[in-house]
Each structure stands twice: as structure tokens, then as C-alpha cells.
Amino acid sequence: MRHFNLLNFQHIVLYVFPTLIFMVVFGLALAFSHLRSEDEHERKQKIIYRFPEGIEDRNAPFPLSMMLIIAGTIAWVFFYVLGTGLLGVKI
């Protein structure tokens, strides 16, 4: 049993809200995945560089949603550590 009920609420906020934001961004990414650029098919097929091991490098687009999810995860970790450290709460 915890001595401070606010600590439970802080943990719920730190876990639930980033999860909800992730679900919204991921859902929007799936909903709008049909939006494509004009030269996307050509960029996926054209080989730019061949590595000696037989690996081929292409200039395929990286999904914006994945960039947002990765950036959001990094930001969440940073602010989680910062917030927990400033509040003096033991992890």
C-alpha cells in the first residue's frame, strides 16, 4: 500500500496518456496508409547502391507515422525520467 495516492495517479497518467496517443497515431497511420506519392513505386524498384554482400539499397520512403511513433517514444522516455527525477520519486 502506498503512502501517497497522488503517486498512483501520476503513474496512471504517465502510462495511459502516451498509450492513447500511440493508438490514435497508429490508427490514423493505418487509415491514411493508402495515400501515396506519385513516384513511390519507382523509388521502391530503383536500386541505388549494391553492397558487396548482395544487399541492395533503395530510396524507399519511410512512413511518417513510424517517425512520429519513434519520436514520441523517445520524448516520453526523456520526460518520464526527467519528471520522475524532479519529483524525487524512487523508480
Q: What is the band of 90 on the pLDDT scale with cuts at 50, 70, 90?
A: low
What is the reported pLDDT for 4? 67
pLDDT in tens, 21-74: 888 888 887 777 666 677 777 777 888 888 888 888 877 767 777 788 888 889
As for how many domains the chain has, the answer is 1
pTM (predicted TM-score): 0.51
> Helices (H), strands (E): how many in the chain?
3, 2
What is the reported pLDDT for 89? 62
Q: Which domain holds residue 17?
A: 5-87
